[in-house]
Structure 1
Amino acid sequence: MSNRKTRLGVLISGSGSNLQSIIDKCESGYLPAEVAVVISNKADAYGLTRAANHGIPGVVLVRKDYPDEFFYNMAILNALKEHDVELVVMAGYMRLLGPEVLDAYPNQVLNLHPALLPSFPGAHGIKDALDYGVKVTGVTVHFANEIFDEGPIILQEAVSIAEDDTENTLAQKIHTVEHVLYPRAVKFYCEDALAIEGKKVRIKE
């Protein structure tokens, strides 16, 4: 088996807890990968500190610093290419990636959503599920495309909602699942174990 490591570019907007789980899984040897760069659209994102703590380059790219979406997405693409990124991992990145990046990385961009897609897409998946009164929600890992939370689904895992769950307690349960499920999906990708067949993703044995 090859010792070659897939170079990851992780996009974040906030605390970076999923980034941390991926870094930890890389360092433990569970993932045949390394985080080559962390890109944040917010200068104060704690995920940048997490990256620095592990000697990983951090790049801040703020939308308002660019004249339009094209130039902003080209800046992201240039940062990814500069660090020889092979797989883009969106970990709490709260923006839609443009075609400039998606076309350069076809079926090489993963996203994580805190609900069982196609239910409760969008930025408030946890709150929306709780407000709707469903008894089960969960976590979805999927390939990203030009539509929010719409790409082919790789992995899903259900999370039960208790009667007394709040948005905070449900978020904690979902994050616990995310920190296991997301690295597993990345591992499948790195091991060339994913085959996209239309809207479906087959995991090769």
Structure 2
Amino acid sequence: MNRRRIAVLISGRGSNMVSLIEAAQKTEFPGEIALVLSNRPDAGGLERAKASGIEALAIDHKAYSTRESFEQAIDEALRSRDIDFVCLAGFMRVLTSWFVERWEGRMINIHPSLLPLFRGTHTHKRALEEGVLVHGCTVHFVVPELDAGPIVAQAVVPVIPGDTEDSLAKRVLAQEHLLYPQALRMICDGRASLDRGRVLFTKGWNAEGALRSPS
């Protein structure tokens, strides 16, 4: 099996990165985590990557005078390591159109809401303020517009009476850790791909059931 070479970009502790690493350690997974890269040298996820035997690289954005020069350094690092695919996992930098277009169709992100609802930040707070009964997370291809790329996969959690931002975030994060590896597997083995601005799935699913909240 020809395993895809994957880079994970992080800015912090990298909990989603860990879920991707654990999934890719299984021999049947169609991709390998070849690099973990952070814009912060003190990111906790770098040490966690090293402990798993994965190259960990810091490219400090503060060392560059422009966003473009910073992203050029990242692009060079990725290409010099023959990276096939990029996963953003808590990478807290807004990427320029130049970088996004360089990696078009080869870069995904996970966002803590059911897109297109609640793009941007403070998603759990906004979900509670709006009174929605379901919330969740989304894996999507990255496009220049923030959190607007074609959707690969979503997971839904109920919003229950008495929820706080923290309790809701914890429930969503648990699903992120399951969803992101699943979505990456689908892309690496060809079951999901970007086709003219939409995600093309090669395998269907049973859509007879329904998710309900309250159940």
TM over 0.5: yes
1:176 is aligned, of 174, 177, 185, to 174
Q: For residues 118 and 198 of structure 1, what CA distance do their matches in structure 2 show?
A: 19
Residue 101 of structure 2 contacts residue 144 of structure 2 at CA under 8 Å; is this kept in 1? no
**Which residue in the other structure is 2:24 paired with?**
26
1:158 has 2:146 as partner: no
Once the two structures are superposed, residues 29-50 of structure 1 have per-residue CA deviations (whole angstroms, 9 ceiling, x without a partner) of 3521111111111222111111
Give, as a single letter, the amino acid of the residue that structure 2 aligns with 1:89.
Answer: C
1:97 is aligned, of 92, 95, 98, to 95
2:201 is aligned, of 192, 200, 203, to 203
Q: For residues 131 and 47 of structure 2, what CA distance do their matches in structure 1 show?
A: 37
Q: 1:104 offset after TM fit, Å? A: 2.2
Residue 8 of structure 1 contacts residue 35 of structure 1 at CA under 8 Å; is this kept in 2? yes
1:148 is aligned, of 140, 146, 149, to 146
State TM-score, norm by structure 2: 0.89
Q: Cα–Cα, structure 1 residues 16 and 30, in superposed 2: closer, same or farther, change >3 Å?
A: farther
Tell me how many residue pairs correspond in the alignment: 203
Once the two structures are superposed, residues 48-81 of structure 1 have per-residue CA deviations (whole angstroms, 9 ceiling, x without a partner) of 1110111111111222210111101101101111
For structure 1, which runs of at least 5 residues remain unmatched after alignment? none
- RMSD of Structure 2 on Structure 1 (CA): 1.4
Note the 1:51-130 alignment, pairs <5 A: 51-130=49-128
Q: For residues 191 and 107 of structure 1, what CA distance do their matches in structure 2 show?
A: 14
Task: State the SS of the aligned residue for 1:28.
Answer: coil
Q: In percent, how many aligned pairs have the same letter?
A: 38
Residue 41 of structure 1 contacts residue 60 of structure 1 at CA under 8 Å; is this kept in 2? yes
Q: For residues 195 and 120 of structure 1, what CA distance do their matches in structure 2 show?
A: 24
Once the two structures are superposed, residues 163-190 of structure 1 have per-residue CA deviations (whole angstroms, 9 ceiling, x without a partner) of 1211111111111111111111101111
Residue 110 of structure 2 contacts residue 139 of structure 2 at CA under 8 Å; is this kept in 1? yes
Q: Cα–Cα, structure 1 residues 63 and 32, in superposed 2: closer, same or farther, change >3 Å?
A: same
Q: For residues 166 and 29 of structure 1, what CA distance do their matches in structure 2 show?
A: 39
Larger Rg belongs to: 2
Q: 1:197 offset after TM fit, Å? A: 4.3
For structure 2, which runs of at least 5 residues remain unmatched after alignment? 204-215
State TM-score, norm by structure 1: 0.93
